[in-house]
Structure 1
Amino acid sequence: MKIRNSSDWRDAIPFDTPLRASEAVPGEATRCATCGPSSEVREREELWVVKHRHPNNPAGFVRLYCLAHRPVIATRPEPAAKAPRERRAPRAASSTRVAAPTVPERPAVFCPDCFVEVPATGVCGMCGQRVG
């Protein structure tokens, strides 16, 4: 199954960053995703919105959390700058490698009646005349 992306309000939310739901997603009161459907309805000012990464959907998915269940997002360490690699001397050609034989390209042959290129069979595809 291929997931198609559409543009909507979720595109404006950064990944793995808790934001106030009232600022990011204005709307009606709703429930915390962790508390479940039997929990009390909360106003958007009391909720946090987090956009999580998804393995099959590059757009991710968004969940609303109360303050008690707001996930703590661990910051990813920045990759260390790589030291420039030393240039190595080119390797000598190995004696075990064999060069592939080159095949000379066949000159283009045209049908004298149709003026189209004739395939390698030598028979014109338009009129059927054999061209040598």
Structure 2
Amino acid sequence: MKIVSSSDWRDAITFDVPVVVADVVPGEPTRCVGCGPDGELFDRTELWAVKHRHPKHHGGFVRFYCEAHKPAPAPAPAAAIPLKKPRASAPRAERRTASPKPTPVTDRPVRAMCPECFVEVSADGMCGMCGTQVV
């Protein structure tokens, strides 16, 4: 099952570009988000709709603003910086670093083992599992 968001009038608005509310969604007079819930009602031809980006919802959210609170349009995107061409490098096999080889069993130091539990004992010779003294 594929979950998708539904399509509505907000999808037609470009991010961070103010548009007249009456052009995107008709309806009754409403309030500016900047003026607050006690602000006056504005006709939809006097309000601006701005679609903002949201960090967790890819569709963003839309707010209505009066002329006094209308945010400035988003600046034009900067020109793309050309990427440097990758320089020629050694073949993949030569670039790999040699992984350390495991120490052969014959070169490892001999450590005391508990004859009962078959675990390595500490430096004092006492088994941490069963308490047997190993010499």
How far apart are 1:93 and its partner, in Å? 4.2
How far apart are 1:22 and its partner, in Å? 1.1
- Residue matched to 2:98: 96
How far apart are 1:5 and its partner, in Å? 1.9
Structure 1 93/4 Cα, relative in aligned 2: closer, same or farther at 3 Å? Answer: closer
CA–CA distance in structure 1, aligned partners of residues 54 and 20 of structure 2: 21
Which runs of 5 or more structure 1 residues have no equivalent in the other structure? 99-132
Which runs of 5 or more structure 2 residues have no equivalent in the other structure? 101-135
- Residue matched to 2:47: 47
Aligned residue identity for 1:51: K
CA–CA distance in structure 2, aligned partners of residues 22 and 14 of structure 1: 16
Q: What is the aligned-residue RMSD (CA, Å)?
A: 2.2
Structure 1 14/74 Cα, relative in aligned 2: closer, same or farther at 3 Å? Answer: closer
CA–CA distance in structure 2, aligned partners of residues 18 and 38 of structure 1: 23
After TM superposition, the structure 1 stretch with the greater mean CA deviation from structure 2, 88-97 or 45-54, is: 88-97
SS at match of 1:46: coil
CA–CA distance in structure 2, aligned partners of residues 86 and 93 of structure 1: 15
CA–CA distance in structure 1, aligned partners of residues 49 and 85 of structure 2: 43
**Residue 63 (str. 1) matches residue 63 (str. 2):** yes
SS at match of 1:31: coil
Aligned residues: 96
Aligned residue identity for 1:96: A
- Residue matched to 1:127: none
Q: TM-score, normalised by structure 1?
A: 0.64
Q: TM-score, normalised by structure 2?
A: 0.62
CA–CA distance in structure 1, aligned partners of residues 26 and 67 of structure 2: 17
- Residue matched to 1:36: 36
How far apart are 1:71 and its partner, in Å? 0.5
- Residue matched to 2:24: 24
CA–CA distance in structure 2, aligned partners of residues 16 and 7 of structure 1: 19
Structure 1 79/35 Cα, relative in aligned 2: closer, same or farther at 3 Å? Answer: same
- Contact 2:17–2:74 (8 Å) recurs in 1: no
Give % identity.
48
